[in-house]
Amino acid sequence: MSDPLLKVEDLRVEFPTRRGTLVAVDGVSFHVDQGEVLGVVGESGAGKSLTGSAVIGLLEPPGRIAGGQVILEGERIDNLPYERIRRIRGRKIGAIFQDPLTSLNPLYTVGRQLVETILTHTDLSLSKARDRAIELLQEVGIPAADRRVDSFPHQFSGGMRQRVVIALALAANPRLIIADEPTTALDVSIQAQILALLKRLCREHGTAVILVTHDMGVIAETANRVAVMYAGRMAEIGPVRDVIKHPRHPYTIGLMGAIPSVGSDVERLSQIDGSMPRLTDIPTGCAFNPRCTKVLDRCRRDRPDLIPAGTSEVACWLYDDAGAAADIPAAQPAPGVAHVAG
C-alpha cells in the first residue's frame, strides 16, 4: 500500500491562559489517503475545527501546536517557517470555510481574487491566469462564468459564493482540501449540490478532503471514513458505513440514536444527558465517563487510547479485552441517516 497523503500523529493544541494552559486537542492521530473524504464530526467544542486549523497552519494566537506532527506527502509541515507554510497552504492545501463572506474580499471582483491566487502559486501569465479563473468558475457550476468573473462577491447568492470559495481552494490544484462546515449556512438543495461537487472533485482530481461538520447526514452522504471527536480526542474512527450502522463507542451510539430515521415510527428520540465538559474541567480518565451509561470504574481512572474493534478503532475500555462489547445496546436504526442531508 502507498503511504497516506496526510498523516497526523499525536497532535496536541494548547491555549496558554492566566489560569494555566488549556488543552483543546489532545493526542489526535489519523491519516487521509489520496482521493479520500475523511469526515470529522462531533459536538461544538469537540476540537474539530481546531484540528483542521492546526493542519493548515491557521491557528489563532495564542493557540499553538504543542506536540505531535503533521506530515504531508512525506514532509513534516507543522514546524515550518511562516512563509514556507504559506506557500504550501495555497499550493498543496486548500481551505473552504463556513461563511464565504469571510473568505472573499468585498472590494475586489471574484476574478481578481482568483487571478491573484493563481499568479501567487503558479507560473501562468496574467492572461492565462484569467482564462484559468474562468475555467474554475465553470467547473464549480457558475453559469456565464466569462461574465460573472468580473462580479463582486455581494452580487452572488450564498450558494454561488460558496462555489467561488471552492474555486479559490482549487486554484493551484491542491492535494488536500480542508472543508470546515462548508454547507451549514446553505439551504438543503444547495447543500446537496455543494456536497456532490466535492465528491466529483475527489473522483476526478484525486483530491483528498477533510470534511469538518456536526451533521452526520452530511458525513453519510459524502465521506469514506468518519472520525468522531469528543473533548479534544478521537472517540471512534472507521469506515463511514460501519460507524453509522454499527457504532461502537457509547458517545457515537448516542449520536446515532438522536438522529431521526426516515420511515421509523418512534415517539421520542434518545438523548445524551449532560453536556461536553469545558476545557478547564476535563474529567479524569475517559472524558465521556460522566455522561456514559456503560461507565466502568476503570473509565473514571484511566484514559483509553484507540483500540481496534472490528473495522473501526474505539477509545473505550469496553473493547480492551474481547475486542467487542456484547453488552452495549445497538444504536437506534439509522438507515435513513443519509437522507438527512437532503
State what percent of residues in the chain have pLDDT above 90.
Answer: 63
High-pLDDT (> 70) share of the chain, %: 92
Quickly state the pLDDT bin for 177 (edges 50, 70, 90): very high
Residue where a domain stops, chosen among 227, 262, 293: 227
Crossing angle, helix 158-170 and helix 126-139, to 10 degrees? 130
CA-nearest of 260, 249, 251 to 217 is 260
Q: Is residue 191 part of a domain?
A: yes
In 3D, which of 27, 91, 34 has the Cα closest to residue 54?
A: 27
Q: What number is the average pLDDT over the span 251-260?
A: 85
Same domain as 170, residue 263: no
Beta pairing class for 37-41 and 225-230: parallel
Are residues 209 and 163 part of one domain?
Answer: yes
Average pLDDT of the chain to the nearest whole number: 88
Instruction: Indicate the residue among 176, 206, 227 that finishes a domain.
Output: 227
* Residue 65 is assigned to a structural domain of this protein: no
Domain count, the chain: 2
Note whether 47 and 154 are same-domain residues.
yes
Q: Are residues 120 and 220 in the same domain?
A: yes
Q: Report the 3 state secondary structure along the chain.
A: CCCCCEEEEEEEEEEEECCEEEEEEEEEEEEECCCCEEEEECCCCCCHHHHHHHHHCCCCCCCEEEEEEEEECCEECCCCCHHHHHHHHHHCEEEECCCHHHHCCCCCCHHHHHHHHHHHHCCCCHHHHHHHHHHHHHHCCCCCHHHHCCCCHHHCCHHHHHHHHHHHHHCCCCCEEEEECCCCCCCHHHHHHHHHHHHHHHHHHCCEEEEEECCHHHHHHHCCEEEEEECCEEEEEEEHHHHHHCCCCHHHHHHHHCCCCCCCCCCCCCCCCCCCCCHHHCCCCCCCHHHCCCCCHHHHHCCCCCEEECCEEECCHHHCCCCCCCCCCCCCCCCCHHHCCC
pLDDT at residue 335 is higher than 70: no
pLDDT value at residue 176: 94
Same-domain check for residues 91 and 203: yes
13: in domain: no
pLDDT value at position 263? 67
The pLDDT tens digits of the residues spanning 9-36 come to: 999 999 999 989 999 999 999 999 999 9
Write out the residue range of the structural domain in which residue 204 sits.
32-58+85-227
Provide the pLDDT for residue 178: 95
Number of Cβ within 10 Å of residue 213's Cβ equals: 25
Give me the phi and psi of 22, to 5 degrees please: -95, 130
Residue 69 inside a domain? The answer is: no
Q: With respect to residue 193, please indicate whether it lies within any of the assigned structural domains.
A: yes
Check whether 204 has a pLDDT greater than 90.
no
Residue 342's pLDDT is what? 32
